[in-house]
Every structure is written in structure tokens, then in C-alpha cells.
Chains A and B, each alone.
Chain A
Amino acid sequence: MVKRIITMTVNNRPGVLNRITGLFTKRHYNIESITVGHTEAEGISRMTFVVNVDDERIAEQITKQLNKQIDVLKVVDITDQAIIVRELALIKVAVTPATRGEIYTLIEPFRAAIVDVARDSLVVQVTGEPEKIDALIDLLKPYGLKEVARTGTTAFPRGSQRASSTNKSLFII
């Protein structure tokens, strides 16, 4: 299985999301995550998909099938470009007076923030590449995870494409 990140701009019309997710179902493609939101242009939204596919041929089919949709303006498989990949997660973790301080120290290198404090829990907000979020969740797991909400990946090509995918690892945190 290969993970591909596909971003596209679409007309913000009723049913567009339905058409696109329907297409994934019909063609048996597995979606790992979708994010949708407005762009700088009125009436145009950006969607970012993370999909798991068996091979490059299927990845190519996905972009071609998406391109056929009338309301899809542009589709790019940006996996192999220099990109910024971000996800936001809210993590509600159980705390006791003894562990509270520990958690504050633990999240610091992740540049995460505490956005809610209760007597027996904290809500941690973290943004970054999905791997970074995985890592933080792993670290917090022993304290007891009460709830986790992740937005899914959104991504963007960098302004400068000089560097190829080889330096992608530099941008992880």
C-alpha cells in the first residue's frame, strides 16, 4: 500500500463532496482522510485527500477520475513534491495533580498548547505532520486518553519547488 496526498480545487456547489466521495466508493478507493475548506477565491473550495492505494496506476486513475468531474477545477497528486503537510489534533488526556506538571513538560518540544483545563483532564492542541501527532498521542497514551479528535491532513505545495521530496523529512516538526 502506498499513501498518496491529492489536493484539488472545486466549485463550492451543493453535492460536490457527495459526488467525489461517491466516486471513491464506486471505484473502491480507500480514503484515509478528507479536509475541505474555503480558498482565497470566492465560490472555490480546496479539498485534500489522503488515500491508500495498491500502486501508482491506481493513484493515476484516481486523479484522472476526479478530473472528469465537472465541478473539479484542478487535481494534483502532490505526494512527490516539496509540500507542507499539516494536521490539527485535540487530545483530552486524564490527569492527576501528580501528572499534570509532567504532561506540561512532555508536550513542550511538540509546541503543543493546553487549551482546556479541568480537575481531572487537560485538552492538548497540537498541529504538525501526522507522524508528529501520532508520536504525541503515543506519549500521552499511558496517562489515559479520554478523547481524540483529528482534523485529517491538509497540504500545500511549498512556494519554492527547488528541493525535491528528498528533503521532505526536514520538515517533519
Chain B
Amino acid sequence: MAANMKVKERVAKKQTLCGALMLIEALKAENVKVIFGYPGGAVLPIYDKLYESGVFHVLTRHEQGAIHAAEGYARISGKPGVVIATSGPGATNIVTGLTDAMMDSIPLVVFTGQVASSVIGSDAFQEADVLGITMPITKHSYQVRDIHELPKIIKEAFHIATTGRPGPVLIDIPKDMAVAEAEFDYEQDVQLPGYQPTTKPNHLQIRKLVEAVSQAKRPVILAGAGVLHANAHEQLKQYAEQQNIPVIHTLLGLGGFPADHPLFLGMAGMHGTYTANMALYECDLLINVGARFDDRVTGNLAHFAPKATVAHIDIDPAEIGKNVPTKIPIVGDAKEALIQLIEQNGKRPDVSEWLNKLNEWKREYPLMYKREPGVLKPQRLIEMIHEYTNGEAVVTTDVGQHQMWVAQYYKFKQPHRWVTSGGLGTMGFGLPAAIGAQLAQPEATVVSIVGDGGFQMTLQELSVIQELNLPIKIVIVNNQALGMVRQWQEIFYEKRYSHSLIPNQPDFVRLAEAYGMKAMRATTEEEAEYVLKEAFATNAPVLLDFHVCPGENVYPMVAPGKGLHEMVGVKW
């Protein structure tokens, strides 16, 4: 408290500070609780000031770990994740994370060191054109050329990262700028005439949608991550119930609508449920709320929602009409749009026949897999984790088969519990993301479910988990293969398993033990029961290596180039 007062006084006095201290004061003013980073030559002046700043800094073991941890933190806390990396290799190591955050609209403020202004452009030691490299993968970026501008730049960066459609903003700080001094004034207003996101939806378009809903026979809502970014889950439920419209989620939207709700049809897309995909094919009114019609959701666009009038609510006008022709465009915040729709309280459409059909499909074509004695099915494993955590855990994943099984079988009841790499599909995302997620919600049960392939891309972060004693449960769905690649090779490449089988994986249990972490292995359902029970009773990190049935595939499936109605693997 006293320290806080001191900061306020200093800020009010517009003290002269060096760049490094400006950064630290700005972080405090933005109420940043944790930053993720890795030191190096160009950021030494910043790290020197961090030393006794009181800012909680997590030293990951690789910059990629830092940025994925920041993404996990942002996803769960709803606040921007903050990253510091040094120039050159430090900065290039965060490129994957920046792209991931850009694709999935995750707010990040990323500081990179840069060589001194005087040598920029001379191919100096650890120099990289970070601004040039990251331009297409950031929402915006800055290089500090005048120390007087730094407070304004940081303030703008936080504003841009967190408003409108969220995204990563990068600030490149030459080494001399960290030591140069100027007056620190953080009270100024952000003025960006070129950046005025529309949040209030157009009333006329809202009325058009209300009219379309009242006439609809087979309406459906496709809800994406925009619902979660806008914190509009309550309104989504209220609106769906008011109008009696069934809801489908995209991969990233999961949790926005309770999975156990009778109006929920499941996830759409390549590995979505039969009911969700057929509903998209058969519907006459499709209301997209905060989803971007990704190709993994739509399948072949020529066959996508062929009978539907499309309405699209999105904060980003460029997403509307990008992939799917849209009759009713609504630019705005999902929450504000849904509130307006609820207030309109339009005529409820007659959907009894439609709901009957959907319920019949749900009964007839549920998600399914075959349980076999003595074998641990990955789907069963996810169901067991769901049971042990009561469907309330924060779950992080990488990309691939395990990710799809979690999306299918971990029935998310609540929002902001699901952290996965959707758009970019980044292997190695899940483990570091869990660090950020756990720090954002220290009380939550965090389960990081990863594949044996992706785990090995960022496993060095076990060290951080152990050091901070974060009680994360790490679940390796180990099929001794790059499962999704193997599955595609089986189906589309005549079982030519080119470089996708890894029979000689290391002993993950002993590996975790080398990091000082408790670890167990299970190869059958019975063993899985035992180790899960033990792991969830432990208030410390635990790594669990589950040897699952290696040849298992993710079904149902829409093959690439096919329409959603052409799913395979729906029934045995």
C-alpha cells in the first residue's frame, strides 16, 4: 500500500526517469501482476531496473515458453500478457507466439530489446529487423526512436492490445533508449484517430436480424471466441433461451455456452459433432457471433450453409463477408449486440420441428468410440479427467488428436477454462500456456493435456513449473506418434507413415523426475483411474504419461475439400 502511494506520487510529479524505469512504472500503472521473459545483452539495462522493482517476473527457459505462458495468462485472466525478450534470437524466438496470438486474438504487449540506435542497420551482434519480421503478425508495433515518446507508446500499446479485436502489440526498445532519460507522464489520454473500433452495433441491422429470426424455421447460432473476449456468455445463454435457438461452438468458443445445455449441439467443423455440422448445412438462418468462419469450421465453402441467410456479429468489420457472403452484417461488440437483441425481445420463431430433428440427430449420432479391455482409449482418458475435475478445470492443449479429443469429450460448462492454439495450431503451446493460466488463477485446477510430440517442443518449461511449485497436472496422451499426421497418412496417403511414428520416446516419467517432479505412468484404464486419483489429490505438479491405444483416430471427420454434410466416421 505504502509502495503504491509512492508510485502514485512519483507519477503525479512527472519525474524524470530512464527508459527502463519508465517501462516498470508503466507496467505498475497498467496493474500488470506478472511478466514473462528472458534476459540478454540488449535488455540488460531493463533487467537491471527489474532487479529490485518488485515486478513479478517469471524466467521461462526459452522465449517461446515466455510468450505462450503470457498467452495462457491472457486467456484466463482477460488481461494482456506481458513479455520481455532480448534482441536478435530472443526476439525471433517469440515469432511463433506472436503469430499464435494474432490468429487467436489474444492481447499481448511484448517488449523486445534492440541493439543501440547508433548501430541499427549495421548487422550488429544480435541485431535482427524485428519490426520488419513481426509486422504481419502483430496488431501494431513500435520502435522507440525518441525517449520522450516511450510513455505514450506503452500507453497506446496497452490500449490497442486490449480494445477492439484484441491482439499482440510489440515495442522494440534500442539499448540506449533504456538508459536515456525524459519526463515520465503516463496520465495523458490515448489519441489514435486511425483506430476507433466500432463497439455499438447499428440499430437498423439489429432490427433486420430480429425480423429474420421471427421468420426463421431452422435458425442456429454459431458462437466463437468473440463471445468470450466480450465476456458475453451470460447474454448468449439468455438470448438463445429467449428465442429458443440452438447453439454451436467453434473450437475456440467452447465454454461460452454450457455443454450440458439442451440447446447445445456441440462443436462444428472438421471434427465437430454430426448434429452441429448437419445443423449448419440445413439451417435457414445462421447467426454467427464472434467467429471468423475459419476453413476448419466451414469445410468446403461451396457447400457451407447453402440454405441459410447469414447474419454475422463481429467487432472486426474485415471478418464480415471475408469467407461467407453475409446478408445481415453487424459490426460491434458481441455483448452489446446480444444485449440489444435481448432487449428487442422479438417474436420467437416456431422451431419445434427443427429442435425435434436436432434432438433425433443427437440421439442417433452421438460422439462415439469403442472401449476395449486392457487398452486405454484416449477418449476415455479425457472423459475420466472430466469426471475427476467435475468439468471445471482449466485445460490447456497443443494441437492435434489430443486437442480434438479434449474439445469433443471435455464438456466445458464454464467460460474461460479452455486454452488452446486454434488458428495457428502450435505444437508446444499447451505446457507453457498452463504456467500462465495457473498464475492467472492460482486456485484453479489446471490440467495441461499434450501429445508426446508437442510436449517435447517446450518441455524445458517443466523446470519453471517445478520451481514455482505450480500444481499443474501434465497429461501426456502418448501414442508414440505425431497422431494427427499419422491419421492423415493412414487415410489420405495409403498408410505411408512418413516420419510420424516415434516408437523410441524417452521415459517421460524419469524425465520429469530429473526435474524433481512427481510422475506416474498408466497403460490401462485401471491404472489410469489410479494415477489420476493420486495426481488430483496432490497439491503439487504431477506429470502423467498415459500410453494410449496408438492407432486411434479422431472421428467423425470432414475430409479436406468436403462439405460439412459429407462427414465420415459418424457410425460404426
Which of the residues B135, B136, B194, B317 comes within 8 Å of A64, measured between beta carbons? B317
Establish whether residues B194 and A15, one from each chain, have CB atoms under 8 Å apart when the complex forms.
no
Establish whether residues A22 and B135, one from each chain, have CB atoms under 8 Å apart when the complex forms.
yes
B307-331 interface code vs A (CB 8 A; 1 in, 0 out): 0000000001110011001000000
Shortest CB–CB separation between residue B69 and chain A, in angstroms?
A: 26
Within 8 A of A (CB), among B317-376: 317-318, 321-322, 325
Chain A's closest residue to B318 (CB) is: A64
The verdict on A69 contacting chain B, using a C-beta distance below 8 Å, is yes
Shortest CB–CB separation between residue B123 and chain A, in angstroms?
A: 19
Q: How many of chain A's residues have a CB under 8 angstroms from any CB in B? A: 21
Which of the residues B132, B139, B194, B321 comes within 8 Å of A73, measured between beta carbons? B194
Within 8 A of B (CB), among A55-96: 57, 60-61, 64-65, 67-73
Report how far A120 CA is from B255 CA in the complex, Å. Answer: 77
Which of the residues A68, A70, A73 comes within 8 Å of B318, measured between beta carbons? A68
Residues of A within 8 A of B132 (CB): 18
Which of the residues A14, A19, A67, A73 comes within 8 Å of B193, measured between beta carbons? A73
The verdict on B195 contacting chain A, using a C-beta distance below 8 Å, is yes
Establish whether residues A57 and B192, one from each chain, have CB atoms under 8 Å apart when the complex forms.
no
The verdict on B160 contacting chain A, using a C-beta distance below 8 Å, is yes
| Known contacts A61-B322, A68-B316, A70-B140: A19-B135 contact under CB 8 Å | yes
Report how far A70 CA is from B197 CA in the complex, Å. Answer: 10
| Known contacts A67-B317, A68-B318: A22-B194 contact under CB 8 Å | no
Report how far A19 CA is from B131 CA in the complex, Å. Answer: 10
B129-167 interface code vs A (CB 8 A; 1 in, 0 out): 001100110011101010000000000000010000000
Within 8 A of B (CB), among A1-39: 10-11, 14-15, 18-19, 22-23, 26
Residues of B within 8 A of A65 (CB): 318
Report how far A72 CA is from B160 CA in the complex, Å. Answer: 14
Shortest CB–CB separation between residue A36 and chain B, in angstroms?
A: 16
Chain B's closest residue to A21 (CB) is: B135
Report how far A129 CA is from B136 CA in the complex, Å. Answer: 33
Chain B's closest residue to A69 (CB) is: B194
Establish whether residues A15 and B193, one from each chain, have CB atoms under 8 Å apart when the complex forms.
no
Residues of A within 8 A of B139 (CB): 70
Report how far A72 CA is from B316 CA in the complex, Å. Answer: 15
Shortest CB–CB separation between residue A45 and chain B, in angstroms?
A: 12
Report how far A61 CA is from B194 CA in the complex, Å. Answer: 18
Residues of B within 8 A of A57 (CB): 321, 325
Q: How many of chain B's residues have a CB under 8 angstroms from any CB in A? A: 20
Shortest CB–CB separation between residue A26 and chain B, in angstroms?
A: 5
Report how far A29 CA is from B145 CA in the complex, Å. Answer: 32
Shortest CB–CB separation between residue B104 and chain A, in angstroms?
A: 16
Residues of B within 8 A of A15 (CB): 131, 135, 141, 143
Chain B's closest residue to A64 (CB) is: B318
Establish whether residues B160 and A70, one from each chain, have CB atoms under 8 Å apart when the complex forms.
yes
Within 8 A of A (CB), among B103-138: 131-132, 135-136
Report how far A70 CA is from B163 CA in the complex, Å. Answer: 12
Chain A's closest residue to B131 (CB) is: A15
Which of the residues B192, B321, B322 comes within 8 Å of A70, measured between beta carbons? B192
Shortest CB–CB separation between residue A50 and chain B, in angstroms?
A: 21
Residues of B within 8 A of A26 (CB): 136
Shortest CB–CB separation between residue A8 and chain B, in angstroms?
A: 10
Shortest CB–CB separation between residue B464 and chain A, in angstroms?
A: 33
Within 8 A of A (CB), among B166-197: 192-195
Report how far A67 CA is from B195 CA in the complex, Å. Answer: 9
Shortest CB–CB separation between residue A62 and chain B, in angstroms?
A: 10
Residues of A within 8 A of B317 (CB): 64, 67
Residues of A within 8 A of B140 (CB): 70
Which of the residues B143, B160, B193, B318 comes within 8 Å of A61, measured between beta carbons? B318
Chain B's closest residue to A13 (CB) is: B142
Chain A's closest residue to B140 (CB) is: A70
Chain A's closest residue to B316 (CB) is: A68
Report how far A34 CA is from B132 CA in the complex, Å. Answer: 20
Report how far A69 CA is from B193 CA in the complex, Å. Answer: 11
Residues of B within 8 A of A60 (CB): 321
Shortest CB–CB separation between residue A69 and chain B, in angstroms?
A: 7
Residues of B within 8 A of A18 (CB): 132, 135
Establish whether residues A14 and B321, one from each chain, have CB atoms under 8 Å apart when the complex forms.
no
| Known contacts A61-B318, A64-B317: A14-B143 contact under CB 8 Å | yes
Report how far A15 CA is from B143 CA in the complex, Å. Answer: 10
Report how far A57 CA is from B143 CA in the complex, Å. Answer: 34
Chain A's closest residue to B138 (CB) is: A19
Shortest CB–CB separation between residue A17 and chain B, in angstroms?
A: 11
Report how far A26 CA is from B318 CA in the complex, Å. Answer: 15
Report how far A61 CA is from B325 CA in the complex, Å. Answer: 12
Report how far A18 CA is from B131 CA in the complex, Å. Answer: 10
Q: Chain B: residues with CB nearer than 8 A to chain A?
A: 131-132, 135-136, 139-141, 143, 145, 160, 192-195, 316-318, 321-322, 325
Q: Which 7 A-B pairs have the closest CB atoms?
A: A64-B318, A73-B194, A70-B140, A70-B195, A26-B136, A22-B135, A19-B135
19 additional A-B residue pairs with CB within 8 Å, beyond A15-B141, A18-B132, A57-B321 = A10-B194, A14-B143, A14-B145, A18-B135, A22-B136, A26-B136, A60-B321, A61-B318, A61-B321, A64-B317, A65-B318, A67-B318, A68-B316, A70-B139, A70-B192, A70-B194, A71-B194, A73-B193, A73-B194
A-B contact pairs, 9 of them (CB 8 A): A15-B131, A23-B136, A57-B325, A60-B321, A61-B322, A68-B318, A70-B192, A72-B194, A73-B194
